[in-house]
Amino acid sequence: MTDKIKRRAIESAMRDGTILGMLWIVTFSVSIVMLKSIGNGGGLILSLAVTVLTLSSPILAYKLAVKHRDSERNGAIGYGEAWIHIFVMYLCAILLSSIIQFIFYAYIDPHIFGDLIPAFTKLAAESGLGTNDIEIFTQLFASMEKMSAAEIVMSQLGGHVTRSIILTTFIAIAVKKNPENNI
């Protein structure tokens, strides 16, 4: 691969990662609204929206990788090249969404988890959840309330990277396409 082709491939992965990252930011935003509406019972539809947005992420990654293969690679890409493109795309999405999450937890609503404790406790008690389970979630929210924005974001990074590696592996298998030999 020449330097120009490598540069175009990286630019394409970063552009596609930005698109994927924007989807993750929307998903994060809807999930925050969903969590805040738990207390007044409005979280069911938003929960469904978060689920749909979350499940659409690997589909979008696949579509973006196929677009890259067909437009930038003349319809053929090896497994390794597809894997690298998709993984760089996911890394860019992780970086973008992590920055937004840090800004949210540090400056927009640093006390979100503490604010969620009373609403969740009320909802859990009304829905018949056991006191043991309520205590576990209350302790979880209380411990997250004590964390800094950087700690919250960093605690999520390992999971994001692990999921990205797994998804990248399967999406690259689906995107891989050998060049057609016309004899």
The answer to whether residue 182 sits within a structural domain is no
- Name the domain count of the chain: 1
Residue 180 lies in a domain: no
- pTM for this predicted structure: 0.87
* 114 in any annotated domain: yes
Whether residue 181 is contained in a domain is answered as no
pLDDT tens, the chain, 183 aa long: 678 878 888 899 999 999 999 999 999 999 999 888 876 666 778 889 999 999 999 999 999 999 999 998 888 999 999 999 999 999 999 999 999 999 999 999 998 888 888 878 777 777 777 788 888 888 888 888 899 999 999 999 999 999 999 999 999 999 998 877 544
CA distance 125 to 130: 8
132 within some domain: yes
Q: Is there a domain that residue 109 lies in?
A: yes
> Which residues constitute the domain of residue 85?
3-175
Angle at 95 between CA 91 and CA 98, to 5 degrees: 135
State the maximum Cα–Cα separation within the chain, in Å, rounded to a whole number: 72
Distance of alpha carbon 52 from alpha carbon 135, whole angstroms: 29
| Position 82 in a domain | yes
Is position 183 within any domain? no
